Amino acid sequence: MHNTTTIINTRHQPGFTLIELMVVMVLIGIIASFAMVSIGRDSKDLVLEEANRLQALIQLASDEAVLQSRELALQFHKDGYRFMRLDTDGENWQWATLDGDSVFKPRCLDDLVKIEVTLEGESATLESMDCHDGVPGSAKQATEEHDRRREEPVYPRVFLLSSGEMTPFEIALPVNDKGDKFRLVGQIQGFLKLYYPGEDDDKT
């Protein structure tokens, strides 16, 4: 009689041990928590970046209006904004978008960035700029949309005058749903100041 020894090769058997599965679950939890923190941080950074951009662009446009002796305006939409210039052709005066300007081109807001606009103490109602994949629609398209609804196309604007004066305004950019927001405030004399969440207007 011969003894038969059966050798079982376990090196190629599929599957994980309970400890391996637990380690994987812990790693997934850690990665998910870091992702959530990263998303929250990036959201606030995006809002601050947009607030700084708006402050710099408005200041630059105001300086440009004075140096070039022309009247400019910043037109607001709920998903973006566009700079305008006052074209004077004889008796026909009209506002035109600065489409071809690389600095003052129309801009769409990131989906995580929202704006609330107050002009001369009055809250402004914002219309869509018809952004698609970060590309703004034309001012003509926006006007045609109003025409279809038989409404006069009136948009909230901050006027940047050649005298150095501007429309008093406040642009609020919410950071979260707890009321925290960055606030960009412009005064009639042309002064601009960016307030951080929790910062009071009276602080210097």
The domains of the chain, with CATH numbers, are 18-195 (3.55.40.10)
Instruction: Tell me what pLDDT residue 149 has.
Output: 45
- In sequence order, what are the beta bridge partners of 108? 80
CB within 8 Å of 127: residues ≥ 6 apart: 77, 78, 142, 146, 155
Tell me the whole-structure pTM to 2 decimals: 0.71
**Cα–Cα dist 48/131, whole Å:** 21
Q: Which residues of 169-183 are buried (b: 16+ CB within 10 A; e: fewer)?
A: bbbbbbbeeeeebbb
Tokens describing residue 79: 């998903």
Residue with tokens 């950074």: 45
Instruction: Tell me what pLDDT residue 153 has.
Output: 59
Instruction: Tell me what pLDDT residue 19 has.
Output: 60
- CA 101, 94, 129, 40 torsion: positive or negative? positive
CB within 8 Å of 157: residues ≥ 6 apart: 73, 74, 75, 76, 84, 95, 119, 167
Tokens describing residue 106: 């129309």
Q: Which has the closest alpha carbon to 160: 24, 63, 36?
A: 63
DSSP for 49-73 reads: HHHHHHHHHHHHHHHHHHHHT--EE
Tens place of pLDDT per residue across the chain (204 aa): 555 444 444 444 555 566 656 655 656 765 665 555 444 457 889 999 999 999 999 999 999 999 999 999 999 999 999 999 999 876 778 899 987 888 999 999 999 999 999 999 999 999 998 887 656 665 444 444 444 444 555 789 999 999 999 999 999 999 988 889 999 999 999 999 999 998 887 654
Phi-psi region of 106 (alpha: psi -120 to 50; beta: other; left: phi over 0): beta
Tokens describing residue 176: 């979260």
CB within 8 Å of 172: residues ≥ 6 apart: 115, 116, 117, 118, 181, 182, 183
CB within 8 Å of 116: residues ≥ 6 apart: 123, 171, 172, 173, 174, 181
Judge whether 186 and 55 are in contact, CB under 8 Å: no
